[in-house]
Amino acid sequence: DIFSTGVVLYELLANRKPFQADTLTATVVKLLREDPPSLDEVAPGLPAQLVNAVTKSLAKEPAGRYNTAGEMAKELQWIRQALQSADPGTNVLDETRYASPTQP
């Protein structure tokens, strides 16, 4: 689901879990009641568009998240393309792999 994908992206980008606590119960309480620490504070230097995409995927209310995984994938692909267009000499994202959304 979108939220779980957001959690994984947060962990990959920040090198830490978005909801950290000493016990499972405390972790669940944080997950239900608190927003994770701001990604741009935990991992400074990330592109704002990427931070916004991850933040949107971690919205507490499902209505605040992407409607579908395909919509999220398109947004992440757009961010990748925009970053490469902004600095064509950068090869940092060349190794990014993603699946193309399939149409039912």
Query: pLDDT (tens digit, 9 = 90+) per residue, 5-61?
Result: 999 999 999 999 999 999 999 999 999 999 999 999 999 989 999 999 999 999 999
Residue 74, token pair as written in the block: 């398109």
CB 55 within 8 A of CB 64: no
| Residue listed under structure tokens 């757009």 | 78
| Residue listed under structure tokens 């605040």 | 64
pTM of the model: 0.80
| Residue listed under structure tokens 């992206």 | 9
The pLDDT value recorded for residue 25 is: 96
Q: What contacts 24+ positions apart, CB below 8 Å, involve 4-12? A: 5/57, 5/69, 5/72, 6/54, 6/56, 6/57, 6/58, 6/65, 7/58, 9/53, 9/54, 9/57, 10/36, 10/39, 10/54, 10/58
